[in-house]
């Protein structure tokens, strides 16, 4: 199974909150839960590693910096109807960084997980409405 998955690590402030967010709102399935340090979830071929402050990925670096959540690099999830997904997530209390943006390849919107990590929903041009 590991050879079939692409793994992305997100640093999170609260592993339990991140695990609930991804499984409740974005259709991921829990693989393992070693809270409060680590959990991982899967959706299709994407394995998302949720590493909390107590995980090895959250340790202070030799130069004194501490890895932190957030930034703008993000996972990219394809959806069929971006307006319906956005409405469903807003109704569920999810916070968005942007409004829906239309470009030549399709439409996108960026939302935040509970730790401020961005997730992009993308509807390719010609898909859905």
Please report how many Cα atoms fall inside a 13 Å half-sphere around the Cα of residue 30, on the Cβ side. 15
Is residue 64 included in any domain, yes or no? Answer: no
pLDDT band at 71 (very low <50, low <70, confident <90, very high): confident
21-27 long-range contacts (CB < 8 A, ≥24 apart) are: 21/113, 21/114, 22/48, 22/50, 22/113, 24/92, 25/89, 25/92, 25/94, 26/77, 26/119
Residue 19's pLDDT is what? 98
Eight-class DSSP state of 72: S
CB 99 within 8 A of CB 109: yes
**Has residue 50 got a pLDDT over 80?**
yes
CB 89 within 8 A of CB 76: no
What 3-state DSSP class applies to 113?
A: coil
What 3-state DSSP class applies to 50?
A: strand
Is residue 13 included in any domain, yes or no? Answer: yes
Is residue 63 included in any domain, yes or no? Answer: no
pLDDT band at 127 (very low <50, low <70, confident <90, very high): confident
Is residue 61 included in any domain, yes or no? Answer: no
> In total, how many domains does the chain have?
1
Is residue 62 included in any domain, yes or no? Answer: no
**Domain interval for residue 30:** 2-55+69-124
Question: Rounded to two decimals, what is the model's pTM?
Answer: 0.87
Residue 48 is part of a domain; what is its CATH number? 3.10.180.10
Burial category of 13 from C-beta neighbours within 10 Å (exposed 0-12, middle 13-18, buried 19 and up): middle
């Amino acid at each position: 199974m590991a050879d079939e998955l692409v793994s992305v690590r997100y640093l999170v402030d609260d592993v339990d909150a991140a695990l609930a967010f991804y499984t409740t709102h974005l259709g991921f399935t829990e693989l393992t839960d070693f809270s409060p340090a680590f959990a991982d979830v899967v959706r299709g071929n994407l394995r998302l590693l949720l590493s909390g402050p107590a995980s090895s990925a959250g340790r202070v670096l030799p130069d004194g910096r501490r890895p932190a959540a957030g930034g703008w690099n993000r996972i990219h999830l394809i959806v069929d109807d971006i307006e319906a997904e956005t409405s469903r997530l807003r109704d569920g209390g999810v916070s968005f960084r942007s409004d829906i943006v239309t470009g030549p390849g399709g439409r996108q919107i960026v939302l935040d997980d509970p730790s401020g990590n961005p997730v992009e929903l993308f509807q390719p041009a010609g898909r859905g409405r």
